[in-house]
């Protein structure tokens, strides 16, 4: 028999509001609306399908205050993470809504109406207080605090929801299940004791061993329920992870385990989040929940120390175990014993026994460099999927971004580098010259700072897409402003390598090299806002290479760029 929901009743608003669906759908089209953020979309789905039972809406001010300060809803029910709908006050004023108003909430992906909220109150919060009380520190190295500081809007909207439509998913539909569907699955399979396993990372042999140990200890079946909503920035994408989970499921004895995805927006809130995860798994019907080492931990703070102790999450879940009414299965980290070819909890290993382990950092290094990953650590099927998603450097794309004044020689360097990379072979090479981009992509733009930034952003977008596809991209705009260049670097670096080359040819040489006479027209006042004359050029602070064609030949500059690429493994045979 599945566990009872938190609060006693599964608050599935889709089932509750099904008789009103047609009327709600029509009303939703007449109401003012807002488009949800990605995090709000995840929260909304789990409110509507009962995953966040007993919640039936976004937190009111009284609920928010009670949760932040007391880990409880106003009626005393245990709840540890605030769930709120944040909207800009200017947007609310423009929509003309206030307490008592009804507002349609739309899907950011397809603009479909998902729910209607009846607004109970509008309120503001103390962000520092939430950071300290909920996440333990007002430190932007914590992902949730960074989100709170930079992404959370200024006004919170509390109120109950009515379900209109479920969010439409197109990926892994067969294993995206609501709490009611998971409970029905347990009933169909005659599962009465179920241990749930939460993960946001790929699973390897140690994870399989951990979950099987938990099943043996509790005489239970296993629900693998990975998060496919928002996780920690920099995590492996959920498409890759789900392929890994699907590959590892046959490694369990037949009938022992099931895989079901959870559209949760994690906060990486450590102890409080572990309690929240236990509540959610209880709502899905699990009777047991695995809490491992540093559960939902975000890593190190700005001083280099961990935000939470390694077993602090276990301690808080155990503190509330009677109220949670779900049995916690605490686990130490497992380590591999090569002499006996087995995994054991690290606290059970006798002194002097040889152990082996591969950290997440070391795994990422091996994936990037193509170094071997031993079978004692992971299954060949899993490694193959991870290598497809994380090819070694010599198969990854990169961008070389040359910036400098007009007629500084950056275009000549770019063309020579294109030849050198084509000669090297192994990937396609694309050249994005400033004038070409102006003609083909930005012909409607002028030369104000805003328009220059838009032009550079477009170059960055194209460069990132080329890099993501494994190509070599050479971009050579003037790009006079440091912030715009940093934004390009941030975008491209998510897809592959990025190298900033400052072509620092002196202005007087640039003027001399300008055969078109553009500088002369700018000096005469015929052209306004020309970089280097009456508009600034902000020199890069930390470029990967500084080049000056008056001191170094173009062939030598190209060679130095090639050496950078070889150093990092993008070219050359290692």
CA distance 429 to 471: 6
Tokens for 530?
A: 């020309």
pTM of the model: 0.87
Helix, strand, coil abundance in the chain, percent, nearest 5: 40, 20, 40
Q: What is the pLDDT of residue 1?
A: 66
pLDDT given at position 136: 96
Average pLDDT over residues 442-460: 92
pLDDT digits (tens, 9 = 90+) for 234-282: 888 999 999 999 999 999 999 999 999 999 999 999 999 999 999 999 9
pLDDT of residue 572 exceeding 90, the answer is: no
Report the alpha-carbon distance of residue 38 to residue 464 in Å, rounded.
Answer: 22
What mean pLDDT do residues 158-183 have? 97
Task: Check residue 440 and give its pLDDT.
Answer: 86
Interval 364-370 mean pLDDT: 82
Q: State yes or no: pLDDT of 527 exceeds 80.
A: yes
pLDDT at 441: 85
Statement: residue 291 has pLDDT above 90: yes
Best CA proximity match to 203, nearest among 211, 195, 194:
211
Closest by Cα among 565, 547, 569, 567 to 556: 547
Say if CB 263 and CB 238 are below 8 A apart: no
Catalytic residue numbers, as ranges: 199-201
Q: How far apart are CA 159 and CA 180, in angstroms?
A: 24
What average pLDDT does the segment 30-50 reach?
A: 98
Q: How confident is the model at residue 60 (pLDDT cuts 50, 70, 90)?
A: very high
Instruction: Compute the distance between CA of residue 218 and CA of residue 513 in angstroms, rounded to an integer.
Output: 78
pLDDT band at residue 231, thresholds of 50, 70 and 90? very high
Half-sphere exposure of 153 (CA within 13 A, CB side): 19
Core vs surface per residue 12-22: b (16+ CB within 10 A) or e: bbbeebeeeee
């Amino acid at each position: 028999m599945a566990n009872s929901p938190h609060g006693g009743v599964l608050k599935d608003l889709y089932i509750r509001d099904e008789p009103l669906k047609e009327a709600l759908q029509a009303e939703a089209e007449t109401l003012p609306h807002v488009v949800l953020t990605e995090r709000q979309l995840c929260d909304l789905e789990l409110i509507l399908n009962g995953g966040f039972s007993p919640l039936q809406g976004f937190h009111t001010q009284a609920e928010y205050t009670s949760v932040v300060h007391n880990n409880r809803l106003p009626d005393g029910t245990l709840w540890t993470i605030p769930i709120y709908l944040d909207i800009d006050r200017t947007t609310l004023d423009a929509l003309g809504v206030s307490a008592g108003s009804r507002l349609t909430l739309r899907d950011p992906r397809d603009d479909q109406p998902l729910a209607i909220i009846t607004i109970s109150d509008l309120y503001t919060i103390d962000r520092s207080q939430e950071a300290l009380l909920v996440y333990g520190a007002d430190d932007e190295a914590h992902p949730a605090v960074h989100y709170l500081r930079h992404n959370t809007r200024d006004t919170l909207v509390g109120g109950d929801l009515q379900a209109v439509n479920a969010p439409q998913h197109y990926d892994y539909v067969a294993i995206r299940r609501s709490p009611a569907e998971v409970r029905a699955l347990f009933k169909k399979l005659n599962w009465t004791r179920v241990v749930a396993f939460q993960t946001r990372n790929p699973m390897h042999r140690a994870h399989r061993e951990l979950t099987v140990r938990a099943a043996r200890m509790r005489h239970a079946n296993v629900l693998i329920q990975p998060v496919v909503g928002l996780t920690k920035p920099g995590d492996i994408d959920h498409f890759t992870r789900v392929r890994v989970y699907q590959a590892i499921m046959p490694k369990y004895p037949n009938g022992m385990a099931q895989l079901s995805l959870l559209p949760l927006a994690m906060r990486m809130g450590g102890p409080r989040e572990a309690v929240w995860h236990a509540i959610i798994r209880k709502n899905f019907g699990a009777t047991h929940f695995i809490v491992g080492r540093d559960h939902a931990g975000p890593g190190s703070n700005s001083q280099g120390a961990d935000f939470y102790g390694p077993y602090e999450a276990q301690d808080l879940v155990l503190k509330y175990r009677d109220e949670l009414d779900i049995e916690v299965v605490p686990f130490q980290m497992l380590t591999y014993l090569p002499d006996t070819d087995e995994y054991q909890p690290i606290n059970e290993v006798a002194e002097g026994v040889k152990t082996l382990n591969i950290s997440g950092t070391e795994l990422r290094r091996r994936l990037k460099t193509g170094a071997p990953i031993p079978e004692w650590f992971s299954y060949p099927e899993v490694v193959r999927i991870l290598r497809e998603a994380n090819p070694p450097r010599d198969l990854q794309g990169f961008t070389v971004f040359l910036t400098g004044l007009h007629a500084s020689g950056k275009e000549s360097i770019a063309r020579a580098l294109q030849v050198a990379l084509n000669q090297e072979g192994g990937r396609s090479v694309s050249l994005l010259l400033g004038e070409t981009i102006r003609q083909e992509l930005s012909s409607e733009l002028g030369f104000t700072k805003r328009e220059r930034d838009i032009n550079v952003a477009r170059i960055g977008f194209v460069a990132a897409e080329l890099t993501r596809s494994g190509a070599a991209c050479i971009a050579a705009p003037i790009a006079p402003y440091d912030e715009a260049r940093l934004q390009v670097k941030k975008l491209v670096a998510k897809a592959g390598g990025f190298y900033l080359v400052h072509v620092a040819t002196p202005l007087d040489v640039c003027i001399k090299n300008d055969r078109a006479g553009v500088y002369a027209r700018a000096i005469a006042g015929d052209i306004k806002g020309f970089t280097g004359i009456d508009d600034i050029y902000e020199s890069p602070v930390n470029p990967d290479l500084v080049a000056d064609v008056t001191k170094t030949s173009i062939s030598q500059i190209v060679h130095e760029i090639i050496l950078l690429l070889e150093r990092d493994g993008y070219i050359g045979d290692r």
